[in-house]
Chain A
Amino acid sequence: MSVDRLALADEFAGAGAAGDGAVASADVAEYALRLGDDALVLAQQLGMWIARAPELEEDVALGNIALDLIGHARSLLHYAGTATGRSEDDLAYWRDEPEWRNAWIFEQPNGDFAHTIARQLFIATYLFELYGELSASTDPTLAAIAAKSVKEVDYHRDHATQWVLRLAGGTDESRRRMIAAVADTWPYVDELFHDDELVERLASEGVAVLPSRLREPFDEVIDAVLAEAELELPTGRTAFIASGGGRRGSHTEHLGPLLAEMQVLARQHPGASW
């Protein structure tokens, strides 16, 4: 994506897609905040690869993915903010760590390229299933955001899959790194499929997708990719990590520094516009 197309997409991402006057209820806002925080925290991490990627094509590809995610985050945070009269930037720059609602996998650090790719594979596969279902949400704003996003995360999933195959089937070193990355990232997968009262309430109204319903299609895709890559599915399932801490504002040690860096300039100039 180039700057000109982005400028055009701007109105869409800012006030347009999530706009048209729709105001989220408290429950819907909380749900949109979860999805928006997921997208923004991951975009922030992928943005760190730009000018550091293993090859120029990856500077471009990871940059594209990060841009897509920022677009999703802006739409979702804008919508979440309508419940309390806050802007996307109020939510992104002026909330402290315990107010963030992203799941832990999104805040796990980039690590080496294999770790970034493992995180991408699990997240993009989850998001693809989620947005696919959410396109049919009874909430028209969420449905519109999901319908636009699902096409993009389909590409993200393909990008990650291709790299898992290359790294697992490349050299001894790349295979060793890919195995380690899958094992390190796997414990964070369960949290994505954790149901709680909020999603149960919203799912019963057809607004939200029950996360546990996405597990089976997720497993099918992941099993197929790992089988093709001749990688074993890790077995460790960590109940503690899976308990959904991120959705309640409890986070790993990685989120604080990430937010501190992201928010530092905005917080030096309260009330300023940019």
Chain B
Amino acid sequence: MTSPADLSVAGAARGEQSGDEAAQALFDDLIAKDSRIEPRDWMPEAYRKTLIRQISQHAHSEIIGMQPESNWITRAPSLKRKAILMAKVQDEAGHGLYLYSAAQTLGITREEMMLQLIEGRARYSSIFNYTTPTWADMGAIGWLVDGAAICNQVPLCRASYGPYGRAMVRICKEESFHQRQGFEILLELMQGTEAQREMAQGAVDRWYWPSLMMFGPPDDQSPNSAQSMAWNIKRFSNDDLRQRFVGMLVPQAEVLGVTLPDPNLRFNDATGQYDMSEIDWTEFNEVLAGRGPANAERLRRRREAHEDGAWVREAAAEYARKQALKSAA
């Protein structure tokens, strides 16, 4: 991985060139040919900033996203489920690590990103501000939230920025297993007792709409989308991805025997799309503005882990420094 020192040199070199039309032309050409931009290539400042914002938000989402599920690790109802849930939450930590590394190649440190997160200056996916009152939420999160994440993320494997695209390839492989284990949890519950079936339907009712909101505002209200699509960071519009997701869910819901909580949901032969009820964007905006069920709790918990662990990280850094001195002497 590129060290921060390397990056500042690379950044300075780029700075000298930034007025250079040739560099811009080369960048435009790479984008037009749908090639990859690599860390040492010249890139417009706005492209760099957009990527740092998007990749770090994505990393934060993986990390905050560990919380609603880690909530059930100690209470998982069988040893097999406990093991699978632990592995899943641990995978999400790994995703966070890959993504922070990708963002670091753009000239920001992990410490800075972590501070942005715990000081409330950075966003993460709002979906993780919902709570997980029952075990069935583990199923619904895997099926719906990881499912929506896959729809959003598969196109990102071809994102123009090389380190981001490559991180996404690794992540997407694991996400499809996450979705499958969520589906299996719900299937087991739906084939179980009355109480288990109620638990499963309740969780689907809770997570269905928030998962649709994960694709972001409707296309006509999504200000950053056009530029991201022009830069080959984003490949499909929010509404297109939402349609795909619903198209994937409908047959799976039938297999499960759960009802998707939208009375107006049906396939429209004329448009070739699913008709659905209006999404409650007031709720979306409330959660986005920090007034969701668990926004404060999620940040508090991340801040605590960071602060409680400070002495450990300092010890590791100090030990490494002393070892380096020893080997230099």
Quick one: CB contact mask for B76-102 with A, threshold 8 Å, 1 for yes?
111111111011111101101100100
Would B74 and A51 count as touching, CB distance under 8 A? Answer: no
Is A177 part of the binding interface, using a Cβ–Cβ cutoff of 8 Å?
Answer: yes
In the complex, B12 has a CB within 8 A of chain A: no
B77 touches A265 (CB 8 A): yes
Q: Which of B74, B84, B301 has a CB less than 8 Å from the CB of A3? A: B84
Q: Which residue of A lies closest to B312 (CB)?
A: A54
B interface residue numbers (CB < 8 A to A) = 63, 66-67, 70, 73-84, 86-91, 93-94, 96-97, 100, 135, 173-174, 177-178, 181, 185, 188-189, 192-193, 195-196, 301, 304-305, 308-319, 322
Do the beta carbons of B86 and A63 come within 8 Å of each other? yes
- The 8 Å CB contact of A2, one of B87, B318, B319, is B87
Q: What 8 additional pairs, Cβ within 8 angstroms, besides A10-B80, A51-B93?
A: A6-B87, A47-B82, A51-B70, A51-B305, A63-B86, A93-B77, A171-B315, A173-B311
Please pick, from A59, A166, A170, the residue contacting B93 in the complex, using a CB distance under 8 A.
A59
* A6 B78 Cβ-Cβ under 8 A: no
- Alpha-carbon separation in the docked complex, A48 to B185 (Å): 22
Instruction: Give the residues in chain B near A264, CB-CB below 8 Å.
Output: 75
| A residues adjacent to B (C-beta < 8 A) | 1-4, 6-7, 10, 13-14, 40, 44, 47-48, 50-60, 63-64, 66-67, 70-71, 73-74, 77, 88-89, 92-93, 112-113, 165-167, 169-171, 173-174, 177, 261-262, 264-266, 269, 271-274
- Other-chain contact of B174, A4, A93, A170, A274 (Cβ < 8 Å): A4
Distance of A262 Cα from B82 Cα, bound (Å): 10
| A171, B318: Cβ atoms closer than 8 Å | yes
Q: Which of A10, A174, A265 contacts B75 (CB 8 A)?
A: A265
B88 / chain A contacts, CB cutoff of 8 Å: 3
Chain A residues, Cβ within 8 Å of B82: 47, 70
Closest residue of B by beta carbon distance from A68: B83
Could you say which of A53, A71, A77, A265 contacts B305, with CB atoms under 8 Å apart?
Answer: A53
Q: Give CA–CA (A60, B317) in the complex, Å.
A: 19
Q: Across the interface, do B86 and A67 meet the contact criterion of CB distance under 8 Å?
A: yes
Q: How many whole Å from B106's CB to the nearest CB in chain A?
A: 19
List A contacts of B73 (CB < 8 A): 47-48, 50
**With the chains together, A3 CA to B84 CA distance in Å?**
6
Contact B83 A174 (CB under 8 A): no
Q: By the criterion CB–CB under 8 Å, are A66 and B86 in contact?
A: yes
28 sample A-B contacts, Cβ–Cβ < 8 Å, listed by A number:
A1-B90, A3-B177, A4-B174, A6-B87, A7-B84, A7-B181, A47-B73, A50-B73, A50-B89, A51-B67, A52-B304, A53-B305, A54-B309, A54-B313, A56-B97, A57-B97, A59-B90, A60-B93, A63-B87, A63-B93, A64-B90, A70-B86, A74-B80, A112-B308, A167-B315, A170-B318, A173-B314, A274-B80
| Given A63-B86, A93-B77, A272-B193, A265 and B135 contact (CB-CB distance below 8 Å) | yes
Judging by beta carbons under 8 Å apart, are B174 and A3 in contact?
yes
Given B77, B79, B86, B315, which contacts A166 in the complex, CB threshold below 8 Å? B315
Contact B79 A113 (CB under 8 A): no
Residues of B within 8 Å of A2, CB to CB, are 87, 91, 94, 174, 177
Residue of B nearest to A112 (CB): B308
CB pair B78 A274 closer than 8 Å: yes
Bound Cα distance A266, B78 (Å) = 7
Most chain A CB within a 10 A radius of its CB, from B81, B84, B93, B100: B93
CB distance from A229 to the nearest CB of B (A): 10
User: Roughly how many angstroms separate A255 CA and B81 CA in the complex, as a whole number?
Assistant: 22
Q: Which of A67, A73, A170 interacts with B87 by CB under 8 Å?
A: A67
Q: How far is the CB of A156 from chain B (nearest CB, A)?
A: 15
Q: When A and B form their complex, which 4 residue pairs have the shortest distance between CB atoms, in order from nearest?
A: A54-B309, A170-B315, A174-B315, A63-B90
* Central interface residue in B90, B193, B310, by most chain A CB within 10 Å: B90
Question: Is there contact, CB below 8 Å, between B96 and A89?
Answer: no
